[in-house]
Chains A and B, each alone.
Chain A
Amino acid sequence: MKKITTLPALIIVSAALLLTACEKALLGGDPAENPQEVFDHLWTDLRNRYSYFELKNIDWEAVKLQYAPRIREDMGEIELFEVLADLLFELEDGHVNLTSSFNRSRNWEWSQNFPLNYNQGIIDRNYLGTEFWISGPLRHHIIDSILYINCRSFGGVLSRDDADAVAERAAGLAGVIIDVRSNGGGNLGNALRLASVFTESAYTYGRVRIKNGTCPDCFSSWTDLRVNTRSGPVYTGEVVVLTNRESYSSTTYFAEMMRVNPRAVLIGDRTGGGGGSPAFGELPNGWTYRFSSTQAVNNDGLHFEHGIPVDSEAELEKSDEDSGIDTIIETALEILRE
């Protein structure tokens, strides 16, 4: 046996002990969190990964020239937030936000500049009433042999049992109304599960691609978007889908899924868009942001970002609204009664 004081052993032990404290040190420190660094990081990441500059004809370099002069070393965080929020506003995209501990920026012009065509109070009082069923995010009630389904969100979980429940309840009825007005989206899987209740065969409803490099046209190849069949019950009757400008994101996808279904018609107003799946990032000062990083088009090449047009436009008439009537639901009921 040898003595413990051998030189190589001491060197290795010393190196190990030094490394023990180096897990962080070897990766370097954080970048400076000054306003210029934060602005540059945000602008650059968006330049590299945002997916709609060309479609929206946005000159991002020109936008930088417009906003960079507003950045000062001594500006406060609220002032910096406002500049960055204005920068992101230029993208005219509901999937673009800047989030700090005190505010979240957004551009909601895709819905705010249009009639809402939706009154939840009227629906609750006069169409759902008190006897409606709740199956996950779906509230449904039978109105004159027609199943009215109100879906305010595709967030959370729309389970197989929830889908079974509406399919079984709709069986034998004269039609189904799916009201996704003011449904801001959520989980695309939920939208697909609901759409699969209304088809006996799988079909393609569009294509999607994702940014895969810094250049403006660096995208993956297009991949089909499909609605697949389900093993549970399916409703094969007529369906009317109600949309408005607040039908956004996954709800835009759902609208196109149903628009392609030959037994479904869309009425109301064009959906708000939201075709790009948002990716997330973090700034040197800890604020986070999200931005569209994919493109999706329907079978005719129309970008989901522009919203899905309806088959038949319908508005919520003020006189009807004052009388507690939802003009668009009444129109859907008439279509299904014919």
Chain B
Amino acid sequence: MLRIFMMLCALALTFAAHAQLRQLNFGGGLQLSALRDRAFSPLLYSGAGYEGFLGYRSTRERREHIWLASAGRANLSNTFNRNLTTTAVRLTNLNLYNISENSNFRAGWSNNNGFHHREIDGFQNFNGRVDFFTTFGPAAKYDLPFSFWENEFRFSAAAHVQLIGIYLPSGYVSSLPSGFGYEPNDFGEAVIESMRVFHPGSSFNAALWPQLDWHLDSGNSISLNYLYEFTRFSVPHVGQRSAGYWFLTFNMTL
């Protein structure tokens, strides 16, 4: 047992030694959101809210791993002033690799996981519609370090497109996914029955994430971020979400 523990420690130290930069990122900001859930309404709901972010970035010579978790709420309304409240939690993972020597571009793959809850004012039963997805797809990132007024900055932009995965949408009528609530299932059966395949033509999720880092003398940095994400499901009802997040993060070098 002790031997295994020592091996894990050695592996961790090796990992740390090879990492050129490891950062913990945390911050928050505003979101501007819009959605249309045809199970509720054909009308567009839009508005603003807040979002908190927690991330981890590991950058080595030839590859970069980015984890970004976020949670937030937004109050939306339609043109007739009916309100809708959304709550969302997301965990995104980007794995990026150098595509050539001395290139500012990295490419790789990504995994995106999202949970979304929306509740419309005045609707009683089957309110609080939810969906969850976990998906995979290509990702890319562009980095541009530069100096300005004797300060060091880095502009970067990451993007990912989700192509394949699974999602659990709300039911055809019920707010819970179809395997829950009105089916005599245990939890595992309910998950399997509710599961849909996320694939091009049926579902879509993509994001663009430009950010501007200002490197501090302490080795840490502060980032101004804009993250835009678009999500579309077509089963059992068409649901579309479009959200842009403006947020600041403090990036603590570990």
Known: A31-B42, A286-B43. A23 touches B123 (CB 8 A): no
Q: How far is the CB of A95 from chain B (nearest CB, A)?
A: 9
Interface residues of B in 134-192 (CB under 8 A from A): 142, 144-148, 152, 155, 157, 171-174, 178, 181-184
Asked whether B122 lies within 8 Å of A2 as measured between CB atoms, the reply is no
CA distance A282 to B40 in the complex (A): 6
Known: A22-B242, A220-B182. A286 touches B78 (CB 8 A): yes
Asked whether A23 lies within 8 Å of B182 as measured between CB atoms, the reply is no
Q: Which residues of the partner chain B approach A8 to less than 8 Å between Cβ atoms? A: 104, 142, 144
Known: A8-B104, A224-B184. A24 touches B208 (CB 8 A): no
- Does A67 sit at the interface, judged by CB under 8 A? no
Contact of A220 among B125, B126, B183, B228 (CB under 8 A): B183
Known: A278-B125, A294-B182. A286 touches B82 (CB 8 A): yes
Interface residues of B in 205-227 (CB under 8 A from A): 208, 210, 226
A-B contact count (CB 8 A): 147
Contact of A212 among B82, B124, B172 (CB under 8 A): B172
- Does A270 sit at the interface, judged by CB under 8 A? no
Q: How far is the CB of B39 from chain A (nearest CB, A)?
A: 8
Q: Looking at chain A's contact residues, is the secondary structure mostly helix, strand, loop, or mixed?
A: mixed
Q: Which residues of the partner chain B approach A212 to less than 8 Å between Cβ atoms? A: 171-173, 178, 236
Known: A23-B33, A27-B242. A49 touches B173 (CB 8 A): yes
Q: Which residues of the partner chain B approach A294 to less than 8 Å between Cβ atoms? A: 173, 182
Asked whether B34 lies within 8 Å of A281 as measured between CB atoms, the reply is no
7 residue pairs from A and B, CB less than 8 Å apart = A1-B145, A1-B147, A2-B144, A12-B142, A279-B126, A280-B122, A286-B82
Interface residues of A (CB under 8 A from B): 1-4, 6, 8-9, 12-13, 15-16, 19-20, 22-24, 26-31, 41, 49, 208-213, 218, 220-221, 223-224, 277-286, 288, 293-294
